[in-house]
Amino acid sequence: MILLIDNYDSFTYNLYQYLCELGAEVVVRRNDALTVGEVRALVPERIVISPGPCTPQEAGISVAIIRELAGQVPILGVCLGHQAIGAAFGGEIVRAPVVMHGKLSAIRHDGRGVFADLPQEFTATRYHSLIVERDTLPDCLEISAETTDGIIMGLRHRRYAVEGVQFHPEAILTEHGHEMLRNFLSRQSSVVSRQGRDDMPEIATDPRGQPTAFAVTH
């Protein structure tokens, strides 16, 4: 079962449709409708964290899921979900140089993970005004894709099955969207103990497990 976390975004059900078309059983839950413990109890095979209209700090349990389950369940973050991955591991989320709502960009990538067996350059649809700040990227994350002008479009954890894409693979004008999601679904899971996870920054959380202190520049 794939758990799809809905960050109150209309694109969530585009992702749902694509995943179902690829044969996945998908359960959708909103970001404030369950706790991390309840996520564990569902025993998802994989987790997808959807786009959304807010910042990672405002995205319910999205960041907490990444912090708690990275290395135990493969995770894919899309747009806001991608930013949540950056924030969960200590990166800063800042304003993009240019607001990109419904605009197309050429994406270049490293040919691994969700980008395996794709053309080296393809067109993707972007809907975002925030990005993960390159200069604050923690050592545990590597850049897997970027635009021709150097904006981060993909992140991947160096040890865990955690990936993010800033663009929308589920948008109709994005090329190879199904292939990227198929690559995520076919990735082999690897269970990693939380012991020795020194890549996780100490981030204060409220009683629901939502982060209360990481840098966001408006």
Q: For residue 116, give every residue at least 6 positions away whose Cβ sits within 8 Å of its Cβ, in sequence order, or none.
A: 183
Does residue 79 carry a catalytic annotation?
A: yes
Q: Provide the residue type at 154 as one letter.
A: G
Does residue 140 carry a catalytic annotation?
A: no
Cα separation, 211 vs 205, whole angstroms: 4
Considering 140, 168, 176, 179, which one is annotated as catalytic?
A: 168
CA angle 152, 142, 200 (to 5 degrees): 110
**Residues 55, 34 contacting (CB under 8 angstroms):** no
**Residues 167, 125 contacting (CB under 8 angstroms):** yes
Residue holding tokens 């990005």?
A: 131
Considering 146, 163, 170, 179, which one is annotated as catalytic?
A: 170
Cα separation, 54 vs 188, whole angstroms: 31
Cα separation, 98 vs 108, whole angstroms: 19
Cα separation, 133 vs 183, whole angstroms: 26
Considering 68, 79, 157, 163, which one is annotated as catalytic?
A: 79
Cα separation, 54 vs 57, whole angstroms: 8
Q: What single string gives the DSSP state of each residue in 33-48?
A: SS-HHHHHHH--SEEE
Token output for 195: 């012991």
The residues annotated as belonging to the active site are 79, 168, 170
